[in-house]
């Protein structure tokens, strides 16, 4: 009989090898020692001191939104001296596009990406590698400081990975109050060669979602234009323009823009209302997982049933979908799950806001062996080019955040296999956006993202996410968890709505069941809307005069062509 000990060792080695492929959002990955015979001559300069930066390289100076790049920083060692610690500071000075308050603005900021203590020893050089996760489209100057040398910089241009109307879209629509709004803000992104003409809008129109009326928008104002490098010989034009909609009746509209190059459209992208709503009802749906294998549920039909019910019975002001909207995506597949999801969303009579989850990045079937997919191209193509944004409605500020890709999936636990991985979390850039741009603590705030920030048990075992907070971190965001919880405590956040765990749970900031369900902030986990016929549904949030009245999870069961609902206790 084969000994169990060698098998256990093999399993541990496999786990280690798999997890070495995992990268934090923006943090030091590993330190690599290089012998003298591998040093390039250009790095052997005598005017630098031990601990100084002598080389910086980027895997891609023209990344797209949401796709990380690898940065290698080489520091001089101290072969003839003592060991010492050197602080490496990495910053991001950028100008880019920020989506908030039903529009997009071109804003600038300087943000600390990371600060790392590097141990310098007696080897000739030391290399630090990080993965930087871009969350703002625009022009970035990454700064690197260590040792006695002045700040060193590298320019990085972050572009969109799709040419289209950037805002509004089906997954990031614009809800406009005619009485207070300055008009419809539209952002457009189009790629061209350096020698080609700049972007030029020829026609813009709104079409009612039933196709009965079309309104031409021919009164542009407040035009902002810039461009971003998208490669050695190509650029990406970014154009923001406003349109007067006083003559357009209230209603729900598709939008289309025609340029000299192409025609761009988004269905269900603009909702025009007359007056700020005193009462508001919205529904959170999550973890729909269209295309999931190895189960007996047709997620597409379940979502269709839920949306039909919402149209007929709830008629919400809007819907939020908090990640894992499809289970995986592959262009070689016979099915396009993002297209199928879009086809279902357009049957909803309410605007739908989305944010990505870890599964929305998977480029093929999730097999037993995990690989850290980080590609959001298809999410951006079929739902929304934007991932982090904010909007105000009913005197509430809503912030939607991308909580990242899988961070640690494999752990040694009682059941060996952990099917629900942690999220990489929020980058320092995202925390800056939340604190300085997207957040508004002068009113109640609701934050929506896929991974939770609070749980009642701690992650443990191999590859556990370490921290010393009183709340549990199982299945939670890995980076900036404490900072996010502190922000929620200090900035008038009422609800943090998440999915990912496929459970209905409610916690306070220390991971306990709150004694008062209205003692804000409340950290809410919501069950999958489609994966279990006995518990399919969504969380209904009711607001009046800017205050949360209720946030119940509503169970929807379809039996013999009749809808049956059951409201769970919060």
CA distance 488 to 397: 13
pLDDT for residue 215: 96
What are the φ and ψ backbone dihedral angles of 418, each rounded to 5 degrees? -110, 105
Q: Does position 2 have pLDDT exceeding 60, yes or no?
A: no
Per DSSP, the residues of 270-287 read EEEESS--SEEEEEEE--
Does the domain formed by 276-567 have CATH 3.60.21.10? yes
Q: What is the pLDDT of residue 316?
A: 97
Which SS3 state, helix, strand or coil, does residue 150 take? coil
Decide if pLDDT at 159 tops 90.
yes
pLDDT on residue 221: 84
pLDDT the model gives residue 418: 52
pLDDT per residue as tens digits for the range 184-206? 999 999 999 999 999 999 999 99
**In 152-249, where do the E strands start and end?**
152-158, 164-167, 174-177, 184-193, 201-208, 214-216, 220-229, 234-243
Cα(485)–Cα(501) distance, integer angstroms: 18
Strand partners, 266: 255
Under the banding of pLDDT at 50, 70 and 90, the label for residue 125 is: very high
Contact 496, 524 (CB under 8 A): yes
Angle (nearest 5°) at CA 281 between 276 and 282: 110
% of the chain exceeding 90 in pLDDT = 72
pLDDT at 364: 67
Q: Quick count: other Cβ atoms within 10 Å of Cβ 20? A: 10
Average pLDDT (266-277) is 94
- Residue of 69 and 29 predicted with greater confidence: 69
**What does the pLDDT read at residue 34?**
35
Within 8 A by CB and 6+ apart from 294, the residues are: none
Summarised one tens digit per residue, pLDDT across range 200-239 is: 999 999 999 999 999 999 888 878 999 999 999 999 999 9
CA 28 to chain centre: 21
Better pLDDT: 442 or 406: 442
Report for 33-42, 354-363, 410-419: range of highest mean pLDDT: 354-363
Lowest mean pLDDT among 32-36, 44-48, 98-102, 275-279: 32-36
The pLDDT of 373-394, averaged and rounded, is: 92
Residue 332 has what pLDDT? 62
Question: In the structure, what pLDDT confidence band is assigned to residue 133 with cuts at 50, 70 and 90?
Answer: very high
Which pairs count as long-range contacts for 261-265, CB under 8 Å and 24+ apart, including other chains? Answer: 261/190, 261/192, 261/199, 262/163, 262/190, 264/163, 264/164, 264/165, 264/188, 265/165
Q: By percentage, how much of the chain surpasses pLDDT 70?
A: 85
Mean pLDDT for the chain?
A: 86
pLDDT of 286 over the 80 cut: yes
Query: 28-158, what's its fold?
Result: Immunoglobulin-like (2.60.40)
Quick one: tokens of 438?
């997207």
Picking from 341, 388, 186, the residue whose alpha carbon sits closest to that of residue 270 is: 186
For residue 20, pLDDT over 60 is answered with no
Averaged over 296-302, what is the pLDDT? 90
The answer to whether 418 and 96 have CB atoms below 8 angstroms apart is: no
pLDDT computed for residue 179 by the predictor: 79
pLDDT score at 352: 98
**Radius of gyration (C-alpha) of the chain in whole angstroms:** 25
In this predicted structure, what is the pLDDT of residue 461?
A: 64
pLDDT tens digits, one per residue of 504-560:
999 999 999 999 999 999 999 999 999 988 889 999 999 999 999 999 999 876 544
Q: What is the pLDDT of residues 33-69, one digit of tens each?
A: 333 333 333 444 557 899 999 999 999 999 999 889 9
Query: For residues 448 and 188, what is the distance between their CA atoms, to the nearest angstrom?
Result: 25
Q: What is the mean pLDDT of residues 450-457?
A: 95
How would you classify the pairing of strands 537-544 and 138-145? unpaired
Q: What integer is the mean pLDDT of 330-341?
A: 81
User: Alpha-carbon distance 147 to 388, whole Å?
Assistant: 35
Contact 121, 91 (CB under 8 A): no
Domains 28-158 and 160-275 share a fold: yes
Under the banding of pLDDT at 50, 70 and 90, the label for residue 470 is: very high
- The domain locations on the chain are 28-158, 160-275, 276-567
533 secondary structure, DSSP code: T
- pLDDT of res. 393: 95
Give pLDDT, residue 35.
Answer: 33
How high is the pLDDT of residue 181? 74
Model pLDDT, residue 291: 87
How many C-beta atoms surround the C-beta of residue 234 within 10 A?
A: 15
CB 472 within 8 A of CB 454: yes
Pairing of strands 505-507, 477-479: unpaired
Give the pLDDT of residue 412: 52
- Residue 425, pLDDT > 60, answer yes
Q: Which helix (H) or strand (E) holds 338?
A: helix 337-345
pLDDT at 419 (0 to 100): 57
pLDDT tens column, 161-172: 999 999 999 999
Which class in CATH covers the domain with range 160-275?
mainly beta
């Amino acid at each position: 009989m084969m000994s169990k000990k060698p098998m256990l060792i093999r399993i541990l080695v496999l786990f280690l090898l798999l997890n070495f492929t995992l990268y934090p959002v923006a943090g030091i990955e590993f330190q690599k020692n290089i012998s003298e015979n591998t040093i390039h001559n250009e790095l052997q300069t005598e005017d630098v001191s031990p601990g100084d930066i002598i080389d910086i390289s980027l895997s891609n100076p023209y990344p797209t939104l949401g796709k990380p790049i690898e940065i290698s920083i080489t520091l001089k060692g101290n072969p003839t001296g003592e060991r010492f610690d050197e602080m490496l500071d990495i910053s991001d000075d950028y100008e880019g596009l920020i989506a908030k308050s039903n529009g997009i603005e071109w804003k600038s900021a300087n943000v600390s990406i990371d600060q790392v203590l590097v141990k310098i020893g007696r080897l000739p050089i030391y290399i630090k590698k990080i993965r930087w996760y871009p969350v703002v489209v625009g022009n970035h100057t990454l700064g690197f400081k260590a040792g006695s040398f002045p700040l060193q910089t590298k320019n990085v241009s972050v572009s969109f990975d799709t040419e289209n109307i950037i805002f509004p879209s089906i997954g990031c629509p614009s809800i406009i109050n005619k009485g207070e709004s300055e008009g419809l803000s539209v952002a457009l992104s189009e790629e061209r060669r350096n020698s080609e003409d700049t972007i030029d809008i020829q026609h813009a129109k709104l079409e009612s979602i039933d196709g009965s009326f079309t309104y031409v928008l021919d009164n542009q104002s407040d035009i902002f234009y810039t461009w971003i490098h998208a490669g050695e010989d190509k650029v990406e034009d970014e154009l923001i323009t406003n349109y007067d909609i006083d003559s357009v009746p209230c209603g729900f509209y598709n939008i289309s823009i025609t340029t000299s190059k192409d025609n761009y459209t988004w269905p269900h992208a603009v909702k025009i209302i007359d007056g700020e709503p005193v009462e508001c009802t919205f529904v959170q749906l999550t973890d729909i997982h269209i295309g999931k294998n190895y189960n007996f549920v047709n997620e597409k039909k379940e979502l269709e049933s839920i949306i039909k019910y919402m149209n007929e019975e709830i008629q919400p002001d809007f819907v939020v979908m908090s990640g894992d909207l499809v289970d995986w995506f592959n262009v070689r597949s016979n099915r396009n799950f993002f297209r199928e999801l879009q086809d279902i969303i357009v049957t909803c009579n309410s605007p739908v806001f989305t944010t990505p989850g870890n599964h929305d990045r998977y480029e093929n079937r999730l097999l037993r062996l995990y690989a850290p997919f980080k590609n959001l191209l298809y999410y951006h193509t079929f739902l929304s080019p934007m991932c982090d944004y904010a909007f105000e409605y009913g005197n509430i500020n809503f912030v939607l955040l991308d909580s990242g890709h899988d961070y640690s999936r494999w752990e040694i636990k009682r059941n060996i296999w952990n099917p629900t991985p942690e999220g990489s979390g929020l980058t320092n850039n995202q925390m800056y956006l939340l604190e300085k741009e997207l957040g508004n603590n002068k009113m109640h705030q609701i934050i929506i993202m896929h991974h939770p920030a609070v749980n009642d048990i701690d992650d443990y075992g191999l590859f556990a996410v370490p921290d010393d907070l009183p709340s549990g971190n199982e299945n939670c965001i890995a980076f900036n968890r404490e900072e996010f919880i502190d922000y929620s405590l200090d900035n008038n956040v009422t609800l943090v709505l998440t999915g990912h765990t496929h459970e209905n749970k409610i916690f306070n900031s220390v991971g306990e069941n709150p004694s008062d369900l209205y003692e804000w902030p409340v950290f809410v986990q919501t069950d999958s809307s489609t994966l279990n016929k006995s518990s399919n549904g969504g969380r209904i949030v009711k607001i009046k005069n800017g205050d949360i009245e209720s946030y119940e999870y509503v169970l929807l069961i379809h039996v013999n062509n009749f809808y049956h609902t059951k409201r769970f206790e919060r």
